[in-house]
Amino acid sequence: MENMAAEVIMPKLGMSMVEGTVIAWKKQIGDPIAKGEGIVDISSEKIEMELEAPADGILLAIAVNDGGVVPYGTVLGYIGESGEQIEHASHAGAESTQEVAAAAVAAEKTAPVSAAVTAENTTPAPTTENATPAPAGRKGSNLRVSPVAKKMAEEAGLDLESITGTGPQGRITKEDVEKALAKEAAYRAETAPQPQGTSQPAAAPLSSTQPAVEASKTASNQEVVERTAVTGMRKVIATRMLESLQQSAQLTMTAKADLTDLLALQRQLASELEKRQEGKLTVTDLIARAVVLSLKKHRLMNSAYLTDQQEPRIETYGHVHLGIAVALEKGLVVPVIRHADQLSLLELSKAIKSLGEQARNNRLSGDEMKGSTFTISNLGAYGVEHFTPVLNPPEAGILGVGAIEAVAVYRGEELQRRSLLPLSLTFDHRVLDGAPAAQFLGSVKDCLENPLSLLL
């Protein structure tokens, strides 16, 4: 009986993951590989990770090339000994590695397209003569289509039967829908009516798409240093942050907390912890503790405004799942500390450091970045004072932390050197008003200025 090569599978990185992207292979066909060795970088939404080899051997074949986007469970490549048989079936429904590779190549050739298709555009859609004909045998429920592609088509009003799938077994992918949208947008532009008596194009009506068009014209007349496709983590951040600003009533208020006593306590505790080899206690740990204690007092800030049902609702949570924003080279991630309200200061400190290290090493799972009820974003290391952090939907609040500044402050008739910390609280005005938000921020300030309360 012939030995079968080990399959390198696209893993499911989170409960909501539908598909993943092969960023770059670190090995070439024929290279020796050790079990557990990193062989390919992959991503899904805001997660990027290094996939480890499931077995020892050599890389026999690559089924999905760099840039390929495939459903989770798809075979990406094969590892084994020279001459071993390759199983020609992936876990995602592809019948052969050739089909998977063809899907990856098609994905690489199809550039993402941004096409504005709205109900206000009265130009008729392409007729069946202009649309790509559907292959025979793909009617109705027999269509093979990825969940992401199906959702995109439904939102754009596209007929899936008019789209030719380039995925395994004719599966319609996200790139196929984007290509169809581009064709439709091009057709609308070509068939748009021109005003009579002039060869010049009519002035376009003012719309939300006009600035993007003008920006494109301006950029084309200048020397472009670099063009970068908006994909992966950057695309997710761009989408979610824009949605956050468009779909919530955000307001930011600021305050300054006197950290002079807290810094003295932090130095004392840090020294003691180092002696006991229990880690390092940072100012961020103490700020996180102050936020958790304040959220327990002001429950409404530990809420979310949800619109996923017919009637919008506000949900207030009994436990604090604290998000800590971590800046990476390619973007921002927010790992979540579950049940932070049940942790001691030392336990909270260890959790913050552990998740931060996982984030910097691309070891976070999708589930470790979901479900937060409040977020902290610290830009103090960059010298920033006050700023306006954007809400992490559907949370009702996010606290921005700035750089500690040394200032001269009168205390009675005595001029003292004090350390002040700028705080910026952004909250959703749909959930709570200015007064309760100010009370929460005041509570955080009080905890920081009375640091012994953080130890209780």
DSSP annotation string for 288-355: HHHHHHHHHH-GGGSEEEE-SSSS-EEEE-SS--EEE-EEETTEEE--EETTGGGS-HHHHHHHHHHH
**Residue 323's beta-bridge partner residues?**
336, 375
Please list the residues that pair with 439 across neighbouring strands. Answer: none
The rounded distance, in Å, linking the Cα atoms of 246 and 415 is 46
Establish whether 433 is a catalytic residue: yes
Q: Helix 260-275 to helix 434-449 angle, to the nearest 10 degrees? A: 50
Give the active site residue among 31, 91, 339, 433: 433
Q: Which of 66, 319, 429, 446 is catalytic?
A: 429
Please give the radius of gyration of the chain, using alpha carbons only, rounded to the nearest integer.
27
Of 363, 380, 284, nearest to 328 (Cα)?
363
Largest Cα–Cα separation, the chain: 92
| Amino acid in the structure at residue 288 | A
283-297 and 260-275 helices, crossing angle to 10°: 120
Report CA torsion sign: 21, 25, 26, 30. positive
Catalytic site residue 386?
no
- Catalytically active residues are 429, 433
